[in-house]
Amino acid sequence: MPRREHLLKIGVSGVRGVVGEFLTPSLACAFAQAFGTYVDGGRVVIGRDTRASGEMLQHAVACGLLAAGCEVVDVGVLPTPTVQVYVGATRARGGIAVTASHNPPEYNALKLFNARGLFFNRYERGDLIDLYHQSAFRQAANYEIRRITPDPETPARLHFERILKRVDGDRIRAHRFRAALDAVNGAGSLVSCRFLEEALGCELHAIAVDPTKPFPRAAEPRPEALGELSELVRREGCQIGFAQDPDADRLAVVDETGRVLDSDDVLALVVEAVLDRLPGDVVVNLSTSAVIDDVAGQRGRRVYRTPVGEANVVEVMQAVKAVVGGEGSNGGIIFPEVHLCRDSYTGMAFLLGRMAETGQPISALAARLPRYARKFGETAYEHGLLGVLMQALEDAFPGAELDRSDGLKVTLPDGWIHLRASNTEPLVRLAAEARTRQQVEDLYGRVMQLVADTGPRQ
Amino acid sequence: MAEQKVLRISHVGLRGVVGSGLTAAHVLDFASAFGTFLEWGGPVIVGRDPRASGVMIHEGVAAALLACGHDVISLGIVSTPVIQHTIRRLEAAGGVSIGASHNAAEWNALKFFGPQGTYLSTAEASELLDIYHLKKFNFVEWDRLGKLRTDENAIDPYLDELARAYDFDALRRFKVVVDCCNGTSARVLRRMNERFGFGFLLINAQVEGVSFVHEPATTERMVALQLAPLMQPLAADAGFLFDVDSDRVALATEEGAPVSEETVLPMLADYLLPRGPGKLVITNVSTTALVDEVAARHGGKVVRAPVGRQAAIDALAGYRPEQIAVAGEGTGAVMMPQFRFVYDGIASMLAILSMMRERGRKLSEIVAGYPRYSILKGEVPLASGRVPAMLMELRQRNADGVANTIDGLRVDWPDRWFHVRVSQTEPIVRVICEQRGEPPERLFEALLDFVRGYS
C-alpha cells in the first residue's frame, strides 16, 4: 500500500493542508465563516506566522469572518501564544491564528480559539466542524458588516506584562545574560528580540530573525536542526541559546557549551521553577518523561497524564487547576498564570530566572535532574491492525501498568514505552524511556520486534 | 407580485444583495476565476466604493488573486475611473472594481477590467464565466503566491491626466456645487480643491457605507431633492450629482432647474462632435432622440446598441476609436475617446464646464438651446415566457413605424418613439416612450395597458 499523503485535513483540530490545490482560499473563507457563525458574530482576532501563504489565507479568513458579521481585529504577524493572550485579555468572541506551527513551509492551517483565548474542547470542535459541513452560515447584510481594525502593538505588550509579573525581572536584567536566539524567521523574529533585549535585559546574539525570509532550517526545533544556534552560542560565548518554531509556541534550549538540552529536561526545569514558587499540581502528556514525576514528587505534588496534544493537556489543566504543564517531547511549556497555552516566552523567562536565582549555568541546572535515557521513533503501520498489536504488547508485559487512553503506554519498574497511532499518517509513533541507554534500547527493540511480528507488511 | 432578483452572474460580472444573494463563497469563486483567467505579469489593481460590504468583498478578492499568483495593489475607496486609470499607469494585468454604482446600499458588485483598464469583451467575459462555472482554478504553489500592497495615492496621477485634458486654470473660476451622495466623488473633488485650487462646494460628502443620504441614482428627481434648491442661494454656476462610484452624472442649472439625465449625452455630443474627427455617437436603444437631433446639427450619426454596458463595449469594438466622438447612455454615464472609453462622471462634468467657458454661456442657456423632448418611463411585471408573443403582436400593431429589434422592440416615428424591453435585473418589462414637445401620455398608457394584457 502506498503511503498516503495528507495534503488536506479537515477535522476536529481545524483545517490543515498544503497550500495551492488543497488548502484553497475558498476553503479557508468558508471555514472562517463557519467559525464566525459558531461564535455568533462579535469581535474576532486574527494573527499569523510568517509563512508565505499567511497573507493570502489571512485575507480569506477575514472575508469569511466579515461575511458572518464579525468585527475583525488584525494583529498581523505574531506568536500564537501572544495572539491567545490578547484574545483572552480583550474579551473577543474568539481568535484564529493562521499557522501550521512546526509543519514544513508548504503547509498552513487555522488554529481556533474561544473567547478566553483557549483551544475549543473536543465537543465544541465537533459542533464547529458540523456547522462547516452543513454550510448554514450567518450571512450578514450590508448594514451588519463590520470593519477590520489593526492592532499590531498591544498584544506583545500585554503578553510581556503578564510574564514580567511572574518572574523577577529586575534580578534577570541585573545579570545581563548573554543569550542567543534562532527564531527560524518566524512569528517570534521581532517579538523575541524585544522580549530578550528590552524586557529581560539580555545581550542578544540572534540569527533567523527576518520575518520576510523563508525558514532557514527545519520548522520544528529538533536538535539536529539547531547546529547553527549551537555554533553561535560557542562563538559568542553565550550563556544560553533559545530556538523557536514558526509560531513561537515551542521552545528548544541550547546550553552554554552548545549542547541542545533534552526537551523533557527543559520542561522539568520550568516545572521546578514554578513549583518552588506556587502551590498546585502538574499535567503532562503520556509521552513525557518520568523526570516530571520525580521533580513533582520531591515537592509533594501530583502529576496527571493526558493523551498527546496541546488541547488535551489544556483541558485537564483546567479541570484540575494545575499550576504548570506541558508536553516534554515537543517543547511545549504551559503556565496558566500567563495563559493556558504553549508559550516559549514564559519558558525563556523562567529559565533565565532560574539561572539568575541560583547563579548556576544552565548545563549545571540540567545536570542536577535525575538521568534517564530516551528513545523516540516511528514506524509504518496499518491502523486496522493496532488492536492486535496492543493485545500482543499486553501479553508480552504481564503485570505492567497499562494506560490505553491514547494508544497504549506500558510502564515497567525501570522504564516505560508509549505507542500511539498518528492522526494524520499510517504510522505508529513510539516514545520510550529507562534508567540506562541499554535498558531503553532493549525495551524499544523488543517492542519494534512485536510490531514487525504483528504487522504483516511487505 | 414579481420578486426582485438578489443575485446576477453574467458577462457584466457578479452583482447581488449581500448576504441574501451575494455571499463570500461567490466572491471567492468569481475572483478565483478572474485570477485564473488573467495572464501572469503585472499586478492586479483592486479598489472599492464605500459600501460596508466592500471590506468583506475586498478581503475575498485579494485572497483569491494572491492564491492565483497575482500581486495585488489595493487602492482603498476610489472611483471606478481611478481604478481603470491606475491599471494603465502601472501596466497592470487587470483590475477589479468592487461597488454597486447606482444601486441601493445593500447591493454590491464586482466589475472586471483587462490590461489597459478596459472592460472585458463579450468573448473574454464568456471565458471568465466558463471558468467560474467549471470551478477549476489555477491556484499556485505556496512559494509562488502573490503579495499585496496598498497605494493610497492613486487619485493624484488620475487628476494629472485630467489636468492635461482640461484647462484647470479657467475651470476653477466656476462656482460649482456637487452632491456626492456619500460616494467616491467626494474624495476626488476634495483633492482637486486641495491640489488645484478648485472651489467645489460639496454636499453629502461624507463617505458612507451603510445608508446613503438619498437614492444613489442620477435622476432629475434626485437632483431636485437637495442640489437644485441650493443653486440660487449659493449663486452657483452649475450643480452636479454623482452616483456612488462616480461613473454617472446629472446636472442642475444656475437657476436651480434639474436637467434630465437624458440630456448629458446630447450635451457632450454637442460639445465633442465639432472638436474632433469622430462623427459617431454610440448609445443604446432606450436613449433620447435628442441625441440624434444634436448629432445631425454637427453632421454626426448615432449608432444604437442594445441596453447594457456589455453591448456598449461590443459596439465600440466595431469602430476605430477616432471614428467615435462620444459614447454613453441616458443614465448620465458617458465615455469619451480621449479617456480610453471609461465611463467617468468627473471627466463628463469637466467637459460640460469647458463647454460653458468656451461658449461663454450659462448652463441654463446651453440647455435652452436644445428642443424639448419629453420622456416617460414605466414598468409592468411579466413572466419571461410571455415576452416573445407580446413583442410580436406589438410590432404588428405598429407596422407604420420603423422597427428596431436588437433589444426588445423599438419603434420610431418622425417625432416620437417607444421602446419595450425586458429588464436584466427584475422579472419586469420596461416601457419607455418619448416625444418631441409634450409628453406622449396616450401612447404611454396604451403601451402599459397592452403589456398588462399579457401578464
Going along chain A from its start, the domains and CATH numbers come out as 8-152 (3.40.120.10), 158-367 (3.40.120.10), 373-454 (3.30.310.50)
Cell (9 digits) for B122: 463579450
Judge: A56–B141 Cβ closer than 8 Å, yes or no. Answer: no
Determine contact: B150 vs chain A, CB below 8 A. no
**Per-residue pLDDT tens over the stretch B172-188:** 999 999 999 999 999 99
**Per-residue pLDDT tens over the stretch A287-340:** 999 999 999 999 999 999 999 989 899 999 999 999 999 999 888 999 999 999
- Output the average pLDDT for chain B: 94
Which residue among B53, B141, B142 places its CB closest to the CB of A142?
B53
Sequence letter at residue B270:
D
Cell (9 digits) for B276: 474632433
Higher pLDDT, A379 or A117: A117
Name which of B138, B148, B115, B111 is nearest B10 in CA terms.
B111
Above 50 in pLDDT, residue B356? yes
- Domains of chain B are 7-152 (3.40.120.10), 156-256 (3.40.120.10), 262-368 (3.40.120.10), 373-452 (3.30.310.50)
CB A342 within 8 A of CB A332: yes
**Strand B409-413 to strand B416-422: parallel, antiparallel, or no bridges (unpaired)?**
antiparallel
Banded model confidence at residue A458, pLDDT cuts 50, 70, 90 = very low
Q: In residues, how long is chain B?
A: 455
Determine contact: B60 vs chain A, CB below 8 A. yes
* Percent of residues, chain B, with pLDDT higher than 90: 85
Judge: B20–A141 Cβ closer than 8 Å, yes or no. Answer: yes
Neighbours of B20 (CB within 10 A): 12
Judge: A63–B28 Cβ closer than 8 Å, yes or no. Answer: yes
Which residue among A59, A108, A144 places its CB closest to the CB of B59?
A59
Judge: A141–B17 Cβ closer than 8 Å, yes or no. Answer: yes
Q: How far apart (Å, rounded) are the C-alpha atoms in residues B444 and B407?
A: 19
Place of cell 471568465: B128
Q: Can you give the pLDDT at residue B1? A: 38
CB A221 within 8 A of CB A87: no
Q: A66 to chain B: nearest residue by CA? A: B56
Neighbours of A419 (CB within 10 A): 25
CB-CB neighbors (< 8 A) of A19 in chain B? 67, 141-142, 145
Q: B140 to chain A: nearest residue by CA? A: A20
Above 70 in pLDDT, residue A270? yes
- Lowest-confidence range among A452-456, B152-156, B273-277, B357-361? A452-456
**Per-residue pLDDT tens over the stretch A60-99:** 999 999 999 999 999 999 999 999 999 999 999 999 999 9
**Per-residue pLDDT tens over the stretch B89-110:** 999 999 999 999 888 899 999 9
Q: Can you give the pLDDT at residue B39? A: 87
Above 70 in pLDDT, residue A4? no
CB-CB neighbors (< 8 A) of B51 in chain A? 142
Q: What is the mean pLDDT of residues A406-414?
A: 92
Name which of A3, A2, A97, A6 is nearest A423 in CA terms.
A6
Judge: B55–A145 Cβ closer than 8 Å, yes or no. Answer: yes
Question: What is the model's pTM?
Answer: 0.91
Banded model confidence at residue B2, pLDDT cuts 50, 70, 90 = very low
B136 to chain A, minimum CA–CA distance in Å? 10
Q: Can you give the pLDDT at residue B267? A: 97
**Per-residue pLDDT tens over the stretch B207-260:** 989 989 999 999 999 999 999 999 999 999 999 999 998 999 999 999 999 998
**Per-residue pLDDT tens over the stretch A193-247:** 999 999 999 999 999 999 999 999 999 999 999 999 999 999 999 999 999 999 9
B4 to chain A, minimum CA–CA distance in Å? 16
Judge: A60–B60 Cβ closer than 8 Å, yes or no. Answer: yes
Cell (9 digits) for B378: 414605466
Q: B107 to chain A: nearest residue by CA? A: A142
Which residue among B57, B63, B211 places its CB closest to the CB of A60?
B63
CB B379 within 8 A of CB B428: yes
* ipTM (interface predicted TM): 0.88
A7 to chain B, minimum CA–CA distance in Å? 13
Above 70 in pLDDT, residue B407? yes
Which residue among B19, B59, B148 places its CB closest to the CB of A63?
B59
Catalytic residue among A13, A26, A53, A101: A101
Q: What is the mean pLDDT of residues A15-29?
A: 93
Above 90 in pLDDT, residue A109? yes
Judge: A24–B139 Cβ closer than 8 Å, yes or no. Answer: yes
Q: What is the 3-state secondary structure (H, E, C) of chain B?
A: CCCCCCEEEECCEEEEEECCCECHHHHHHHHHHHHHHCCCCCCEEEEECCCCHHHHHHHHHHHHHHHCCCCEEEEEECCHHHHHHHHHHCCCCEEEEECCCCCCCCEEEEEEECHHHCECCHHHHHHHHHHHHHCCCCCCCHHHCCCEEECCCCHHHHHHHHHHHCCHHHHCCCCEEEECCCCCHHHHHHHHHHHHCCCCEEECCCCCCCCCCCCCCCCHHHHHHHHHHHHCCCCCCEEEEECCCCCEEEEEECCCCEECHHHHHHHHHHHHCCCCCCCEEEEECCCCCHHHHHHHHCCCEEEEECCCHHHHHHHHHCCCHHHEEEEECCCCEEECHHHCCCECHHHHHHHHHHHHHHHCCCHHHHHHCCCCEEEEEEEEECCHHHHHHHHHHHHHHCCCCEEECCCCEEEEECCEEEEEEECCCCCEEEEEEEEECCCCHHHHHHHHHHHHCCC
Judge: B66–A55 Cβ closer than 8 Å, yes or no. Answer: yes
Q: Can you give the pLDDT at residue B159? A: 97
Is A422 catalytic? The answer is no
Q: Can you give the pLDDT at residue B260? A: 86
- Lowest-confidence range among A179-183, B223-227, B289-293, B334-338? B334-338
Which residue among A24, A26, A63 places its CB closest to the CB of B56?
A63
Determine contact: B7 vs chain A, CB below 8 A. no
**Strand A148-150 to strand A70-77: parallel, antiparallel, or no bridges (unpaired)?**
parallel
Q: What is the mean pLDDT of residues B425-451?
A: 93
Helices assigned H by DSSP within A104-176? 122-134, 154-164, 169-175
Q: How far apart (Å, rounded) are the C-alpha atoms in residues B387 and B200?
A: 47
CB-CB neighbors (< 8 A) of B145 in chain A? 19, 52-53, 55-56
Judge: B146–A141 Cβ closer than 8 Å, yes or no. Answer: no
* Percent of residues, chain B, with pLDDT higher than 70: 99
Q: What is the mean pLDDT of residues A264-287?
A: 96
A22 to chain B, minimum CA–CA distance in Å? 9
Q: Can you give the pLDDT at residue A124? A: 87
Q: Can you give the pLDDT at residue A1? A: 36
- Output the average pLDDT for chain A: 93
Judge: A52–B137 Cβ closer than 8 Å, yes or no. Answer: no
**Per-residue pLDDT tens over the stretch A429-442:** 999 999 999 999 99
Q: A107 to chain B: nearest residue by CA? A: B142
Determine contact: B149 vs chain A, CB below 8 A. no
Q: Is A91 left (phi over 0), alpha (psi -120 to 50) or beta?
A: left
**Per-residue pLDDT tens over the stretch B10-67:** 888 899 999 999 999 999 999 999 999 998 889 999 999 999 999 999 999 999 999 9
Q: Can you give the pLDDT at residue A456? A: 58
Residue of A16, A27, A63 to mutate, interface with B, max B Cβ within 10 Å: A63
Q: Can you give the pLDDT at residue B179? A: 97
**Per-residue pLDDT tens over the stretch A345-403:** 999 999 999 999 999 999 999 999 999 999 999 988 877 778 888 888 889 999 899 99
Above 80 in pLDDT, residue B426? no
Q: Residues of A at the B interface (Cβ-Cβ below 8 Å)?
A: 18-21, 24-26, 28-30, 33, 51-53, 55-57, 59-60, 62-64, 66-67, 105-106, 108, 137, 139-148, 214
Judge: B148–A28 Cβ closer than 8 Å, yes or no. Answer: no
Determine contact: B69 vs chain A, CB below 8 A. no
* Percent of residues, chain A, with pLDDT higher than 70: 97
